[in-house]
Amino acid sequence: MAPTPARPWTAVAGGVAIAVRLTPKGGRDAIDGVEQLSDGRSVLKARVRSPASDGEANAALLTLLARTLGVAPRNVALIAGATARIKRVMIAGDGPTLAAALEKIAAVR
C-alpha cells in the first residue's frame, strides 16, 4: 500500500492555504481527493466543467471550494497560479475548522 501523501493545506493566520491541481473541462465540478506529485508535493485534485479561458475555470474552482466547505464565496481567493495547473488558494475563516472539513472531503474520495 502506498504511503498517505502529506496534506496539501496549511492552517495560516486567518484561514487555510491549499495547493490545488485544477483540471478544466473535466466533465463535472468535483473534488477528487489528494494526489502526490512527482516532486513530492501534495495537491488537492479538483475538476470543473468550465474551460480554462478568461478565468472561467478559476472562478468555478473558487465557487466549488466555497460550496464544498460551506463558506461564503467572498472568503475564497486565488493567491497564486492564475494561469498554471497548480494553484494556491486561500480560504478565510477558522483554520482548524477548515482543515478538519478538508480532511473529511479528502477522506471520502
Confidence check: pLDDT of 1 > 50: no
Confidence check: pLDDT of 4 > 80: no
Domain ranges of the chain: 9-108
* Topology of the domain covering 9-108: Conserved Hypothetical Protein Mth637; Chain: A; (3.30.1200)
Confidence check: pLDDT of 10 > 80: yes
pTM of the model: 0.88
DSSP per position, 67-94: HHHT--GGGEEEEE-TTSSEEEEEEES-
Looking at residue 52, its pLDDT comes to 86
Integer Cα distance of 39 and 74 in angstroms: 32
